[in-house]
Amino acid sequence: MIVYLLAILDTITAFVIMFHVFFGWFSPATVFYHALYVFLKGLLFAKSDFASKIDVVVGLYIFILLAGFSHNILTIIAIVWLAQKSFISLWRPAASVFT
């Protein structure tokens, strides 16, 4: 059940980052909380999972976005990373039920 929750939060975070950077829809406070979520989640699982180490880097990049540095390619990479990770997390448990 926690896998689904984390995957949904990753999807929401990718959405928030994308619409904050490209359209300015979300406040910096909202983006800060999502950056904090990704960063802390990455730290929590970093010893056992390589993908979580990437989450730490993505979380740090989101903090850097808040400081005013934005690079479109890096932002797209961060968004795609979070989106594909959440898609795989949502897909894998559902697929294992049918096998």
Residue 97 has pLDDT above 60, yes or no: no
Q: Picking from 1-5, 26-30, 42-46, 48-52, which range would have the lowest pLDDT averaged per residue?
A: 1-5
pLDDT at 98: 52
Which pair of tokens denotes residue 49? Answer: 């999972």
d(CA 40, CA 37): 5
Tell me the H-state helices in 1-99. Answer: 2-23, 28-45, 50-66, 72-97
65, pLDDT greater than 90 = yes
What is the model's pTM?
0.85
